[in-house]
């Protein structure tokens, strides 16, 4: 679509073939969908057989539309063979883009596929450094985090020359995408593995029971299309691979209406699916009144709206063709077809014979050539000649027309490339360094003391709390000290850079970061780098990519959404670490659930959310984001004999006091499990 002279794509969800057809015929420029595995909506109908996949892709390409495939989940080493098979299908089907989260999948795609790669919103792309590094790594497009404002989006676009895609309509997650572990912590389903259990839609409250303090309204940013186009945004993405075809039809159609006619039916969109209406809090930067639930009233509106949408016809934008024909006596009939993209086909039919009885009139020939109803084409212009005293069977005219459209179909589809599978180099012959270190990561500087600094081989403190640390301690322990960049940081990154330079001046050389852009910032300043759990590393190919991209990589904290058995098999030339103790952050949210219910003035920074069975989840706010922590700490002290001895052990401390920490270390040294703790995902199956 063209808006204010700028081309902008309407990208629609296709959880099934029926929804795909509905999206394309309603006017979407592209669709995105998943195959059997490795996609973030594994519970959607999706597409499985190659025949179904190829049919879906060809359906798009025939109409000049694009098909994007989602390969946007975390992958384990024992799944790589199946992943490669799926990539081979993607290559042969002719997809236009692959949407990716896992760094290991990126590594593999760069070796065996030539399909353009788009960075999924699951990569938590929320600042300039993230977009810049992903562009440098070969990404053709980045899908930005949904929490960004217009101003923040513009800052990224002004500083990074990469295609940008944003969500224009649909559901909001409470957590920054890629940084939510709630589902896997409470069950065996991971959002990062495509099976989010939707925990944030359940009741949670601070003081008042019956509230839903983690449930956000859906977004509808259709009113901002002109601003998006003027900024140069490439694609407007609609969320909803689990939604109905009526939802897809209505959202695509109303976006088209806004672009073409300057108005749209927002009430219809609210009725077809919303959670107590819509919010534009993130895009405006005014994050008020953003919470909502799917009420019974909403559901009743949806039922009526779907019936209304079903009654509306879809008017497909057909491909315009010009036709030239020649029906000259004694010669083969001839038909030439030229489409709007200047693809030309010509076909010949039977030799034209003289009429013995009633001749075939030119008008009847043209009438039958016009019968393109079941095809993707419609006549723009037609010209030709036909002798007067000729006879042409209707079946002959129809066959000529069908042969021409079939031939044109094949040419149009062939314009989209398909690829053979490339050769994959496995990350073998690697020698993991001898580690076995004990490393502390301190969330609150007030927790830090000399006991911690003496006991642990390395200790990381929050970057922005470095100025609170006693300078004598820095001088004494600077060889052990490191700084941690906030996992999510929406402000200008000059603040990060300034504080990193200050840390270097103080003699601190170690840095910890969780997103690829912040890791690159540390690399540029020659810090010794440990990558955080927020990087979501679950396989050898991810580590291999980090080793290729990050010069000063020293240590990789592996995802806690993995089993010890899988972790031990990860190949690396770099030290590896896992979290063995700590209250795991289950969500990182830009919208504070405590603020929603009681306000900042009534918060003593020690609030908790309660679930429906009385479990408490600590909430900690840093001014930019709120972290929601698990009820019980992760603790695997009693099973560390199952972990390879050269893997480092990470202890995450929040607000534990000195006695708490001494007790934790005592249990660790005695290989004893702490009371009221959890072993997390390390020793159970995660789907």
Instruction: Give the strand pairing for 616-621 and 608-611.
Output: antiparallel
The answer to whether 209 and 162 have CB atoms below 8 angstroms apart is no
Given 414, 430, 455, the domain boundary residue is 414
Report yes or no on 643 lying in a domain.
Answer: yes
**Ranges 304-308, 453-457, 521-525: which has the least confidence:** 304-308
Residues 233 and 273 in one domain: yes
- SS3 percent helix, strand, coil of the chain, rounded to 5, is 35, 20, 40
Residues 255 and 106 in one domain: yes
604 against 391, higher pLDDT: 391
The answer to whether 32 and 23 have CB atoms below 8 angstroms apart is no
Instruction: Give the strand pairing for 585-589 and 575-582.
Output: unpaired
Mean pLDDT (whole number) for 637-650 = 96
State the CB neighbour count (10 A cutoff) for residue 203.
Answer: 16
Mean pLDDT (whole number) for 257-278 = 96
Report yes or no on 104 lying in a domain.
Answer: yes
148/261 Cα distance (integer angstroms):
28
Give percent of the chain above pLDDT 70: 99
Mean pLDDT (whole number) for 656-672 = 95
Report yes or no on 100 lying in a domain.
Answer: yes
Residues 390 and 267 in one domain: no
Mean pLDDT (whole number) for 139-163 = 97
522/513 Cα distance (integer angstroms):
8
Residue-number span of the structural domain to which 357 is assigned: 319-414
**What's the pLDDT score for residue 36?**
79
The answer to whether 274 and 218 have CB atoms below 8 angstroms apart is yes
What region, left, alpha or beta, does residue 35 occupy, with left being phi > 0 and alpha being psi -120 to 50 degrees? Answer: beta
136/141 Cα distance (integer angstroms):
11
Work out the pLDDT band at 43, boundaries 50, 70, 90: low
Rg from Cα positions in the chain = 29
Residues 466 and 549 in one domain: yes
151/155 Cα distance (integer angstroms):
6
Whether 49 has a pLDDT exceeding 90, the answer reads: no
Whether 229 has a pLDDT exceeding 90, the answer reads: yes
Mean pLDDT (whole number) for 278-292 = 94
Residues 394 and 508 in one domain: no
**What's the pLDDT score for residue 298?**
93
pLDDT tens-digit series, residues 614-632: 899 999 988 889 999 999 9
Whether 598 has a pLDDT exceeding 90, the answer reads: no
**What's the pLDDT score for residue 313?**
84
330/315 Cα distance (integer angstroms):
42
Question: Total structural domains in the chain?
Answer: 3
Mean pLDDT (whole number) for 643-662 = 95
Residues 389 and 462 in one domain: no
427 against 483, higher pLDDT: 483
Residues 22 and 121 in one domain: yes
List the beta bridge partners of residue 68: 32, 97
Residues 381 and 249 in one domain: no
Q: Which residues contact 402 (CB under 8 A, 6 or more apart)?
A: none
Mean pLDDT (whole number) for 23-52 = 84
Whether 44 has a pLDDT exceeding 70, the answer reads: no
Residues 340 and 289 in one domain: no
pLDDT tens-digit series, residues 160-183: 999 999 999 999 999 999 999 999
Report yes or no on 592 lying in a domain.
Answer: no
426 against 485, higher pLDDT: 485
Work out the pLDDT band at 605, boundaries 50, 70, 90: confident
Whether 2 has a pLDDT exceeding 70, the answer reads: yes
Whether 113 has a pLDDT exceeding 90, the answer reads: yes
Q: How far, rounded to the nearest angstrom, does the alpha carbon of residue 530 sit from its chain's CA centroid?
A: 25
| 165, two tokens | 């895609």
Report yes or no on 396 lying in a domain.
Answer: yes
| 443, two tokens | 């969330």
**Ranges 36-45, 61-70, 198-207, 487-496: which has the least confidence:** 36-45
489/517 Cα distance (integer angstroms):
11
Mean pLDDT (whole number) for 240-248 = 94
339/345 Cα distance (integer angstroms):
9
359/677 Cα distance (integer angstroms):
91
Q: Which of 174, 281, 194, 221 is nearest to 10 (CA)?
A: 221
Whether 539 has a pLDDT exceeding 70, the answer reads: yes
Report yes or no on 527 lying in a domain.
Answer: yes
Mean pLDDT (whole number) for 198-213 = 92
Strands (E), 478-546: 481-484, 510-513, 528-531
Question: In this structure, what CATH number is given to the domain that contains residue 510?
Answer: 3.20.20.120
State the CB neighbour count (10 A cutoff) for residue 471.
Answer: 9
Work out the pLDDT band at 187, boundaries 50, 70, 90: confident
Residue length, the chain? 687
Q: Which residues contact 644 (CB under 8 A, 6 or more apart)?
A: 567, 568
What is the torsional sign of CA 75, 80, 81, 86?
positive
**What's the pLDDT score for residue 174?**
95
**What's the pLDDT score for residue 426?**
87
Report yes or no on 431 lying in a domain.
Answer: no
Residues 349 and 399 in one domain: yes
**What's the pLDDT score for residue 687?**
66
Residues 236 and 88 in one domain: yes
Report yes or no on 189 lying in a domain.
Answer: no
pTM of the model: 0.94
User: What is the DSSP-derived secondary structure letter of residue 340?
Assistant: T
Whether 42 has a pLDDT exceeding 70, the answer reads: no
| C-alpha separations of 615 from 457, 577, 608, 609, 631 in Å | 34, 30, 9, 8, 7
Question: In this structure, what CATH number is given to the domain that contains residue 125?
Answer: 3.20.20.380
Work out the pLDDT band at 568, boundaries 50, 70, 90: very high
Residues 559 and 637 in one domain: yes
Given 254, 279, 310, the domain boundary residue is 310
251/247 Cα distance (integer angstroms):
6
Work out the pLDDT band at 45, boundaries 50, 70, 90: low
């Amino acid at each position: 679509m063209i808006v204010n002279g700028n081309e902008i794509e309407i990208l629609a969800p296709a959880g099934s073939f029926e929804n795909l057809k509905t999206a394309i015929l309603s006017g979407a420029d592209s669709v995105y969908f998943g195959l059997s595995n490795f996609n973030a909506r594994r519970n959607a109908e999706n597409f499985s057989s190659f025949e179904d996949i190829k049919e879906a892709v060809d359906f798009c390409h025939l109409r000049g539309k694009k098909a994007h495939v989602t390969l946007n989940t975390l992958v384990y080493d024992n799944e790589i063979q199946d992943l490669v098979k799926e990539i081979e299908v993607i290559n042969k089907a002719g997809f236009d883009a692959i949407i990716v989260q896992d760094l290991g999948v990126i590594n593999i795609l760069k070796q065996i596929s030539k399909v353009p790669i788009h960075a999924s919103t699951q990569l938590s792309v929320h600042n300039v450094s993230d977009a810049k590094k992903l562009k440098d790594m070969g990404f053709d497009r980045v899908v930005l985090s949904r929490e960004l404002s217009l101003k923040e989006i513009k800052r990224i676009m002004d500083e990074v020359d990469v295609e940008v895609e944003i969500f224009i309509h649909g559901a909001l997650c409470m957590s920054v995408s890629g940084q939510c572990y709630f589902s896997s912590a409470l069950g065996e389903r991971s959002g990062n593995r495509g099976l989010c259990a939707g925990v944030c839609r359940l009741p949670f409250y601070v003081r008042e029971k019956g509230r839903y303090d983690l449930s956000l309204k859906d977004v509808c940013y259709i009113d901002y299309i002109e601003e998006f186009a003027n900024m140069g945004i490439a694609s407007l993405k609609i969320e909803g691979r689990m939604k109905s075809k009526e939802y897809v039809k209505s959202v695509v159609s109303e976006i088209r209406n806004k672009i073409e006619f300057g108005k749209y039916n927002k009430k219809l969109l609210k009725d077809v699916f919303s959670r107590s209406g819509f919010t534009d809090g993130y895009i405006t930067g005014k994050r008020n009144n953003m919470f909502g639930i799917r009420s019974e009233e909403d559901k009743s509106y949806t039922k009526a709206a779907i019936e209304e949408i079903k009654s509306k016809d879809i008017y497909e934008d057909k491909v315009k063709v010009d036709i030239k024909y020649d029906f000259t006596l004694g010669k083969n009939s001839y038909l030439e077809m030229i489409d709007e993209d200047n693809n030309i086909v010509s076909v010949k039919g039977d030799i034209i014979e003289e009429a013995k009885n009633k001749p075939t009139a030119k008008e009847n020939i043209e009438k039958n050539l016009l019968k393109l109803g079941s095809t993707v084409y419609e006549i723009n212009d037609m010209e030709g000649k036909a002798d007067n005293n000729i006879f042409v069977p209707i079946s002959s005219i129809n066959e000529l027309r069908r042969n021409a459209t079939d031939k044109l179909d094949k040419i149009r589809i062939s314009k989209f490339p398909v690829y053979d599978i490339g050769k994959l180099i496995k990350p073998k012959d690697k020698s993991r360094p001898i580690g076995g270190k004990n490393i502390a990561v301190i969330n609150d500087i007030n927790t830090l003391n000399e006991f911690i600094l003496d006991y642990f081989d390395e200790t990381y403190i929050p970057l922005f709390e470095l100025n609170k640390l006693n300078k004598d301690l820095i001088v004494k322990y600077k060889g052990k000290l490191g700084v941690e960049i906030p996992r999510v940081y929406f402000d200008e990154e000059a603040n990060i850079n300034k504080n990193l330079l200050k840390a270097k001046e103080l003699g601190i050389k170690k840095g910890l970061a969780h997103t690829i852009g912040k890791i690159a910032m540390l690399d540029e300043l020659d810090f010794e780098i440990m990558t955080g759990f927020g990087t979501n590393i679950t396989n050898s190919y991810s580590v291999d990519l980090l080793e290729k991209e990050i010069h000063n990589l020293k240590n990789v904290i592996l995802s806690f959404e993995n089993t010890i058995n899988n972790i031990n098999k990860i190949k690396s030339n770099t030290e590896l670490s896992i979290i063995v103790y700590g209250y795991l952050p289950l969500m990182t949210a830009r919208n504070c659930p405590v603020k929603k219910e009681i306000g900042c003035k009534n918060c003593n920074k020690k609030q908790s959310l309660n679930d429906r069975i009385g479990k408490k989840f600590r909430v900690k706010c840093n001014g930019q984001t709120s972290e929601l922590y698990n009820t019980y700490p992760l603790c695997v002290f009693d099973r560390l004999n199952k972990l390879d001895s050269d893997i480092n052990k990470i202890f995450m401390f929040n607000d534990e006091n000195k006695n708490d920490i001494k007790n934790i270390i005592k249990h660790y040294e005695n290989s004893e499990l702490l009371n009221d703790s959890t072993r997390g995902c390390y020793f159970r199956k995660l789907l």
